[in-house]
Amino acid sequence: MIHFTPFAERVRKAFEPTPRGVIGLVDDLLGLCRVHRLRIDFQDSHCYVRPLGTDAQDSIDVPLPKSAFRAVLARIAALCNELQPDSVTPYRGEGEIVVPSSISVDGNPPSTCYVSFVNTSSDQRLELRFSRNSVGDGNRFTVLLRDKRTVTVYGHALQYIRGMASNPHDSGSYGILSRVGGAEVVIAFFRVSEVTGVFSGDIRE
């Protein structure tokens, strides 16, 4: 068994009951699968969670009633069918779920998770894994401003936009581009004079 690892801590946290009930648990698992690929099984009155692809002996035993896990699987099925009607039955299937940024961990952008599940009277299991970002091609740009603030923007490209020729003090701007409905649009705009730097990804100290 794994104990006291970041994975175990995150999983245990996700399985702590909240006022959001089963819906909240599903949201937390979808957020978690951006970081960890998950395999969850219910056997012998226990709910076992492990990183997908590892041995069953690496599982964490989390306290969850069987009826709650079956409701988790039912919620997963409903979310798959919201995105793609009739893509799965309540009893089994494989599909995709879009995870809104509001429930992604660490403020990540909307993403798509691949799920596979079985929810029958004799077999209950779930696999969750991150599939892809759902916004543009999902690059994260971190803009460091001269006043020490940072701004994170999700887009697919960075573009320099010239300043107005009639204004010699206008040194131009940086635009961050994203694809929306097949078109390329500027979704963020920063004056060069206010920017220290633009980085792809996170700024790490």
Q: Is 17 in the site for another protein (CB under 8 A)?
A: yes
CB of 63 or CB of 172, closer to another protein: 63
68 binds another protein (CB under 8 A): yes
Q: Please report how close the Cβ of residue 105 comes to another protein at its closest, in angstroms.
A: 21
Shortest Å distance, C-beta 185 to another protein: 34
**C-beta closer to another protein: residue 53 or 63:** 63
Dihedral sign of CA atoms 63, 126, 49, 130 in order: negative
DSSP-assigned letter for residue 75 = H
Site string for another protein, 78-117 (x = CB under 8 A): x--x-------xxx--------------------------
Stated as kind and residue range, the H or E segment containing 151 is strand 150-155
Number of neighbouring beta carbons within 10 Å of residue 200: 9
Q: How far is the CB of 79 from another protein (least distance, A)?
A: 9
User: Is residue 149 classed exposed, middle or buried when 0-12, 13-18 and 19+ CB atoms within 10 A define those classes?
Assistant: exposed
Yes or no: say if 193 and 171 are a contact pair by the CB < 8 Å rule.
yes
- The percent helix, strand, coil of the chain (3-state, each to 5) is 25, 40, 35
Measure the CA–CA gap between 17 and 64, rounded to whole angstroms. Answer: 9
Nearer to another protein, 96 or 184 (CB): 96
Q: Which is nearer to another protein, 77 or 143 (CB)?
A: 77
b vs e for 38-65, b when ≥16 Cβ sit within 10 Å of the residue's Cβ?
bbbbbeeeebbbbbeeeeeebbbebebe
182 is a site residue for another protein (CB under 8 A): no
Instruction: Pick between residue 38 and residue 73 the one whose CB is nearest to another protein.
Output: 73
Query: Between 139 and 178, how does the x/- string for binding to another protein read (CB under 8 A)?
Result: ----------------------------------------
For another protein, give the closer residue by CB, 48 or 154: 48
Residues in touch with another protein (CB under 8 A): 17-19, 21-23, 25, 64-68, 70-71, 74-75, 77-78, 81, 89-91, 120-122
